[in-house]
Structure 1
Amino acid sequence: MMIRNNVATHLLTTKKYLDDNQSLASMKALIINCTLKPSPAFSNTDALINKAASQLQEKNVGTEIIRLVDYEVKPGNSSDQGNGDQWPLILEKIRNCDILIIGTPIWMGHLASTAQRMIERLDAIFHEEGFTDEKTGQYFTYNKVAGCLITGNEDGAHSCAAQLLWSMQELGFTIPPNVNAYWVGLAGGDQDYVEAGGEQYLYTNTTLRYMIGNLTYFANLLKNNPIDTNLKELEEAAKAESDPE
């Protein structure tokens, strides 16, 4: 009886692994590098991103990496500013992904300006038709997960992660636990991630594996169990208990 139970348990475990692997194979991850350096210039943020991409590919997740500065993304408050604005191309990639990872360098303790612009452009579109579900009011970002990767040569990683992850959940993305990984150098140091050997740094490598593990788990969970919250109904309930504006 014990042998039979063990065999049954093994078969169930094997089936779950195969099912999960098949589910992940249908997923798409988009990693946006917000470096200020256009391709093909070397980017330390790109080096950390490539490690993340390798781990995603090991899980059979289709992965695309782009640099925001390789596109003409204009400042603005609409989905398309016209006059050569290439934000619609980026937006379509975000709409089609299950996992979004934003990678940014740190400049003077802050996000790169490209990362800030991306958040601004995402925030400005939800008043437009086609970006929310007509029945539930959910943003198109619902049932997608997001995380971030950060590199710098001194400080600001916690602040940058806080800004990015808070913004992404406000925009409708699901933020699983432990979905940021970063590397920063010594105070006053002159070496960046690759030159300083950051690719072998235990803390960064550990948090990166946490991140990829949790992003893929929750992306799979949401794909099979999408959020069914009806925001329009909740908004009406809130209006009923609130003072008129």
Structure 2
Amino acid sequence: MPIPAPIQQFIDGLSETAPARYDDLRAVIFNGSLKRSPEPSQTDGLLAIPRRIFEQVGVRVDEVRTADRVIPPGVYPDMTEQGYDADEFPEIYRSLVEPADIVILAGPIWLGDQSSLTRVIIERLYAYSGETNDRGQWSYYGKVGGALTTGNEDGGKHVNAQLLYALQHIGLTVPPQAETYWVGEAGPGPSYLDPEHGGERNAWTTRNAVFMAWNLLHMARMLRDAGGIPGHGTNADEWDLSQPDHPNPEYRR
């Protein structure tokens, strides 16, 4: 998605004066748009800002548009073991999420809440939260998370609060101001990419998108340089909750 020239020039200038290197970092973005590619996505329009910043400083960015993939709902790591014919999420997790330093949940608002496809990704990420790293910490320790929401009805803060809560609950670190959103007028108002009244002309949304991107980069850099979250007092292997075979990750912890 193209970014208006003045905004692009501004964010490119910030990238040129970055205080650290970020080219060893990886980011994965989940776009919960209900539209399949190549249909334009309003969410993808706003994602163009953090994506541009990441790419300008050398971060590898992988994006998953959930509508394009076969990802069944559920809280098991591999839903083919629960009767589904196919499940692409195990490979997405291993190849994109596991090596990522930054995870962004993005999507539209429908009926005042996150899209069904955004919720599916939360459930599937949650399914892997019972795995541990080499310190015995939950698998998402050391990663940072952010949220981005678009729509033309109320609910931006509500949706992002849910997304950020979910990310920190499964172990990701949420930096300050790690979210942005665009909502136009209530009802059938303008969408983000509408040429005259859309969000590309909204300085508040643009500013927050820039802040989100840089706060994610700064926190990811700090965690990578520190070797992750200290393991002292956060070793899950030291705890036996006596229900190791329970299907819900909460009870397997």
Task: Give TM class, smaller chain.
Answer: 0.7 to 0.9
- TM-score between the two structures when normalised by the length of structure 2: 0.80
Per-residue deviation at 1:197?
Answer: 2.7
* Separation in 2, partners of 1:171, 1:138: 11
* Separation in 2, partners of 1:47, 1:233: 40
Greater Cα shift, 161-170 or 189-198: 189-198
Greater Cα shift, 182-191 or 210-219: 182-191
Matched, 1:162 2:161: yes
Provide closer, same or farther for how the CA distance between residues 19 and 124 of structure 1 changes in structure 2, counting only shifts above 3 A. Answer: same
Secondary structure at the counterpart of residue 64 of structure 1: strand
Alignment of 1:70-85 (within 5 A): 70-82=68-80, 83-85=85-87
- The residue that corresponds to 1:99 in the other structure is 102
* Separation in 2, partners of 1:126, 1:171: 6
Per-residue deviation at 1:158?
Answer: 0.7
Per-residue deviation at 1:234?
Answer: 9.8
Q: Structure 1: which 5+ runs fail to align?
A: 1-16, 237-245
* Separation in 2, partners of 1:18, 1:157: 29
- The residue that corresponds to 2:53 in the other structure is 55
Provide closer, same or farther for how the CA distance between residues 229 and 152 of structure 1 changes in structure 2, counting only shifts above 3 A. Answer: same
> Which structure carries more helix by proportion?
1
* Alpha-carbon displacement from aligned partner over 1:91-127 (angstroms, at most 9, x marks no partner): 1211111111111100000000011111111222334
Greater Cα shift, 191-200 or 202-211: 191-200
* Separation in 2, partners of 1:126, 1:234: 13
* Separation in 2, partners of 1:233, 1:207: 35
Q: In the alignment, residue 211 of structure 2 is paired with which amino acid?
A: Y
Provide closer, same or farther for how the CA distance between residues 162 and 19 of structure 1 changes in structure 2, counting only shifts above 3 A. Answer: closer
Matched, 1:89 2:102: no
* Alpha-carbon displacement from aligned partner over 1:184-239 (angstroms, at most 9, x marks no partner): 00123432111133112100011011111110000000001121134237965xxx
Q: Structure 2: which 5+ runs fail to align?
A: 1-16, 240-253
* Separation in 2, partners of 1:89, 1:48: 27
Provide closer, same or farther for how the CA distance between residues 19 and 207 of structure 1 changes in structure 2, counting only shifts above 3 A. Answer: closer
* Separation in 2, partners of 1:18, 1:210: 13
Taking only the aligned residue pairs, the percentage that are identical comes to 35
Q: Select the residue among 114, 119, 134 that pairs with 1:116.
A: 119
How many residues in Structure 1 have an aligned counterpart in Structure 2?
217
Provide closer, same or farther for how the CA distance between residues 132 and 182 of structure 1 changes in structure 2, counting only shifts above 3 A. Answer: same
Per-residue deviation at 1:155?
Answer: 0.6
Q: In the alignment, residue 49 of structure 1 is paired with which amino acid?
A: L
* Separation in 2, partners of 1:218, 1:111: 26
- The residue that corresponds to 1:221 in the other structure is 222
User: Larger radius of gyration, structure 1 or 2?
Assistant: 1
Q: In the alignment, residue 66 of structure 2 is paired with which amino acid?
A: L
